[in-house]
Amino acid sequence: SAVISQKPSRDICQRGTSLTIQCQVDSQVTMMFWYRQQPGQSLTLIATANQGSEATYESGFVIDKFPISRPNLTFSTLTVSNMSPEDSSIYLCSARTPMNTEAFFGQGTRLTVV
């Protein structure tokens, strides 16, 4: 299994600013993902964080708005740029280990934009 730590757990930010969310896994993982969970809704995949190369974004999400880094096999960051109230969501990091068919999730970052 894998234990995923996300920081910060929550934040309140001013519109127009940016927030970087960190995701640390306690073991090397093959795949890392970032999801968004808007209030009262399900999880939507933002992007797959690729180690050593640019992230792969899903339809409706762009790198300028959600830049992602993954410098090694255990760490990734997601930045929410130029925030607006519509970005208020829970952002979750997820990871897959080489020998597991399941995805593990962090506890999420609850972001409120005012």
Partner 1 sequence: AQSVTQLGSHVSVSEGALVLLRCNYSSSVPPYLFWYVQYPNQGLQLLLKYTSAATLVKGINGFEAEFKKSETSFHLTKPSAHMSDAAEYFCALELGGYNKLIFGAGTRLAVHP
Output the six-digit token pair for 77: 């960051």
Beta bridge partners of 13: 113
Q: Which residue has the tokens 């096999």?
A: 73
> How big is the CA angle at 91 (ends 10 and 72), to the nearest 5 degrees?
105
Query: Helix, strand, or coil here: 73?
Result: coil
CA separation for the pair 87, 90 (Å, rounded): 9
By CB under 8 A, residue 106 contacts partner 1? yes
Q: Which positions from 51 through 90 interact with partner 1, judged by CB under 8 A? A: none
Q: Tell me how far, at minimum, the Cβ of 29 lies from partner 1, in Å.
A: 11
Q: Tell me how far, at minimum, the Cβ of 82 lies from partner 1, in Å.
A: 26
By CB under 8 A, residue 107 contacts partner 1? yes
Q: Tell me how far, at minimum, the Cβ of 26 lies from partner 1, in Å.
A: 14
Q: Which positions from 83 through 102 interact with partner 1, judged by CB under 8 A? A: 92, 94, 96, 101-102
Name which of 14 and 99 has its Cβ closer to partner 1. Answer: 99
